[in-house]
Chain A
Amino acid sequence: MKFVRRKGPNQVHLNRRYANVNLDELVGRCGEWLRASGPEADIVISSRIRLARDLAEFPFIRQCSEQDRVALERHVRQRLLSLPAFQGAWPIDVAALPALDRQFLVERQAISRELRDAQGARSVILGEGETFSVMINEEDHLRIQVMHSGFDLQPAWEQINEIDNQIEKHIRYAFHDRLGFLTACPTNVGTGMRVSVMLHLPGLVLTHEIDRAFRGLQKMSLAVRGLYGEGSQAMGDFYQISNQVTLGKTEEELIAQVAGIVPSLIEYERIARRTLLEQSARELHDRVSRAYGILCTAKTISSEETMDLLSSVRMGVNLGLLHDLQIPTINQLFVQTQPAHLQKLNRQELGTADRNEARARYLQQRLKSDLTEGPQDKPR
């Protein structure tokens, strides 16, 4: 099956081979999950569900020969691209990408760090609007993920379930009557499902209530991770809450388990913000304004400091302490000020010092244009 799609002035030919994707096209825009359009988007950045799936007739990835990996990747990619859910999707040959482009996809949460660092044939298929992606030859043969803006787990589940149903009609999954979907790591067996909600919790961090709010999550078999999942730090006051157990509960029960805790965390965060406003309004306003001031005027700034300051500014906008700035712009800046994005924006590789300078320039330009364009500005 072949089709042609017009993309700006250039024709992009898509067929069941890799798309002639120019990643530069993605640089200036962001996935829909960053648009802050979903429910409770002031505190919940995104809702993500992923399914781990393996083919019945191949060894798991670690045991695959390179020949197996190549055959498997091609087979899965061709099958997927013929499905209705994948119309307009972009298949990207991750193995052929330069390191900078691989990191760029990690920063957009389109691929995992594991896929970035893996060896041999591997790819990702990006769904339109980056609402979903399928990694091929990651730890499992397929890692399907759906990302929605805000607290939006049920629609995310409906979307990923439909994608999964379409795939399983054409690909024979490894499935065991008693144990469910079989995965390379026993921690994913059963549903193969990880449900995550990413929360922005600066109020709980500032009031030192964050540990208390998370206490008890472990007992409920829920995990708390940083922005980029397992092993990553909680930069910019972002925290991901996800299920740990995948066997013995239905998909709906797993979603309910994660969804059940989110309203309390949102409420705790709102209480913390109210407390800050009531008890230390001057300090809070000062903190937010200083953060904004530095972001607008710094000549050189690190990624870590940027995340930290953007976090304060984001809370400030949500609390009405800063006006005219748009939350989607701030959400995008969290991603676009990261190293690979900055280098793609500047169309060249940059060392740390040059990156810090480019970051400061970019922040000023974006924050200034947000002020001039005002609330009508809708990010693409």
Chain B
Amino acid sequence: MKCHHCEKPAVFHITELTGPEPQELHLCEDHAREYLSAPAGPEPSTASSGEDASKNKIGDTAQELAKLDQRACPKCGITFYEFRQQGRLGCPYDYVFFEQELEPLLFNIHGQKQHTGKRPSSGASTTGRHADLIRLRREMQEAVEREDYELASRIRDEIRQAEGTEPGPSQ
């Protein structure tokens, strides 16, 4: 779906309940920011105290969104803001960690919420050992970047141990 104001894809889906009728808005990152942080309403000359209150509410929403944006996946470290910037998630666990944020987006794209197609014989794999391996790989990388090779080597052993429970790649 395209943004109401430009050609970019709409990543914000806002239902405005401040007017007499609910209003659906689909906006790109830039226009959503502009909309949510606008200091004045569309008709400043007729602003009433009710509209001031609604502006405050919108201000609160912008703050909440900013807070949401900073939440980082404990496994791969990606923030929701980064996801919205690049349109790609960081790891499979993001679908669990950002479930609430992703749900309206997925419904908007697919019009459905439930997979009905084929399933791998080994079943689900988004949590537990597999997600921990993603975290360990990130921590090892961070240790290498800090030149903390002792820690990096300890984490590498942990990765090998975790991979050992089923055939996995060797580093």
Check A228 for interface membership: any CB of B closer than 8 A: no
CA distance A247 to B114 in the complex (A): 7
Q: Which residues of B contact A177 (CB under 8 A)?
A: 123-124
Tell me which residues from 135 to 153 in chain B have a Cβ below 8 Å from any Cβ of chain A.
137-138, 141, 144
Check B15 for interface membership: any CB of A closer than 8 A: no
Check A236 for interface membership: any CB of B closer than 8 A: no
Tell me which residues from 242 to 262 in chain A have a Cβ below 8 Å from any Cβ of chain B.
245-251, 253-254
CA distance A65 to B159 in the complex (A): 15
Nearest neighbor of B109 in chain A, beta-carbon distance:
A187
Check A190 for interface membership: any CB of B closer than 8 A: yes
Q: Which has the most chain A C-beta neighbours within 10 Å: B76, B105, B169?
A: B169
Interchain CB contact under 8 A, B113 and A248: yes
Given A72-B169, A74-B169 in contact, is the A58-B134 Cβ separation under 8 Å?
yes
CA distance A251 to B118 in the complex (A): 7
One of A67, A72, A179 near B115 (C-beta < 8 A): A179
Check A353 for interface membership: any CB of B closer than 8 A: no
Tell me which residues from 71 to 92 in chain B have a Cβ below 8 Å from any Cβ of chain A.
75-78, 86-92
Interchain CB contact under 8 A, B169 and A54: no
- Minimal beta-carbon separation of A161 from chain B (angstroms): 8
Given A71-B170, A72-B169 in contact, is the A179-B95 Cβ separation under 8 Å?
yes
Tell me which residues from 166 to 197 in chain A have a Cβ below 8 Å from any Cβ of chain B.
168-170, 172-182, 184-187, 189-191, 193
Check A57 for interface membership: any CB of B closer than 8 A: yes
Residue-wise interface mask of A (217-233) relative to B, using a CB-CB cutoff of 8 A (1 in contact, 0 not)? 00001000000000000
Interchain CB contact under 8 A, A190 and B110: yes
Interchain CB contact under 8 A, A248 and B95: no
Given A68-B137, A71-B171 in contact, is the A245-B111 Cβ separation under 8 Å?
yes
Q: Which residues of A contact B167 (CB under 8 A)?
A: 170
B contacts with A: majority SS? loop
Interchain CB contact under 8 A, A57 and B130: yes
CA distance A253 to B116 in the complex (A): 10
Interchain CB contact under 8 A, A248 and B92: no
Nearest neighbor of A174 in chain B, beta-carbon distance:
B92
Interchain CB contact under 8 A, B126 and A56: yes
Interchain CB contact under 8 A, B169 and A75: yes
Q: Which residues of A contact B113 (CB under 8 A)?
A: 178, 247-248
Nearest neighbor of B110 in chain A, beta-carbon distance:
A247
Interchain CB contact under 8 A, A176 and B112: no
Check B117 for interface membership: any CB of A closer than 8 A: yes
| Top 10 A-B pairs, shortest CB-CB distance | A248-B112, A180-B115, A75-B169, A174-B92, A56-B125, A56-B130, A247-B110, A63-B90, A57-B133, A191-B117
Q: List 12 A-B contacts (CB under 8 A).
A: A57-B134, A58-B137, A60-B92, A139-B88, A173-B122, A173-B125, A179-B95, A182-B92, A185-B88, A247-B110, A248-B116, A254-B117
Please name 15 further chain A to chain B contacts, defined as beta carbons within 8 Å, in addition to the given A59-B76, A63-B76, A179-B106, sorted by A numbering: A56-B126, A59-B91, A60-B88, A60-B91, A60-B92, A168-B121, A174-B126, A175-B124, A178-B114, A179-B115, A190-B110, A246-B110, A247-B106, A248-B114, A248-B115
**Chain B contact residues, CB within 8 Å of chain A:** 75-78, 86-92, 95-96, 102, 105-106, 109-126, 129-130, 133-134, 137-138, 141, 144, 163, 166-171
